[in-house]
Amino acid sequence: MEEEYIKSLDRALSMIPKRTTSGERFEEPKPEVTVFGTRTVIHNFNELARRLNRSPQHVLKFLSKEMATAGTYDGQRVYFQGKFHEATIGQLIHIYVTRYVICPICKGPDTKIEKSGRFTTLTCEACGAKSPVKPV
């Protein structure tokens, strides 16, 4: 019986257009971090930015600022000056997601960052909300 119920639930969910499924929990990407001497590498940076649906440059700018260090993006990985724990970077990704990805109104991840004049807003494509955000 339960199986039937789950099947019909699956069917129902699959019929919902993609846009409106954004209320689902957003899975935060985890950084793969290695420290080499005095440098820290995020191996999956490209993938990370893609999953966050943001430009690598924007994510890098945020991380560099929060970590107070310089970062270099080579099109795939990012290299930071200094030693940082994977957990620290994971925490920063979490802050980034909360601040620049998730819509504060509907909690969906289908958002984009827009600039109008002096203001930067997080515009939600699911619910249409425009929320002010701090520029990086």
3-state SS, 20-76, equals: HHHHCCCCCCCCCEEEECCEEEECCHHHHHHHHCCCHHHHHHHHHHHHCCCEEECCC
Q: Over the range 79-101, which residues count as b (16 or more CB within 10 Å of their CB) and which as e?
A: ebeeebeeeebeebbeebbeebb
User: Smallest distance, Å, CB 118 to Zn ion?
Assistant: 23
User: Smallest distance, Å, CB 105 to Zn ion?
Assistant: 5
Q: Is 119 helix (H, G, I), strand (E, B) or coil?
A: strand
User: Smallest distance, Å, CB 21 to Zn ion?
Assistant: 13
User: Smallest distance, Å, CB 24 to Zn ion?
Assistant: 13
At which residue do the structure tokens 């999953």 appear?
51
For Zn ion, the closer CB: 42 or 103 = 103
| CA–CA gap between residue 82 and residue 111 (Å, rounded) | 32
For Zn ion, the closer CB: 28 or 110 = 110
For Zn ion, the closer CB: 60 or 124 = 124
For Zn ion, the closer CB: 32 or 125 = 125
Site of interaction with Zn ion (CB under 5 A): 103, 105-106, 108, 124, 126-127, 129
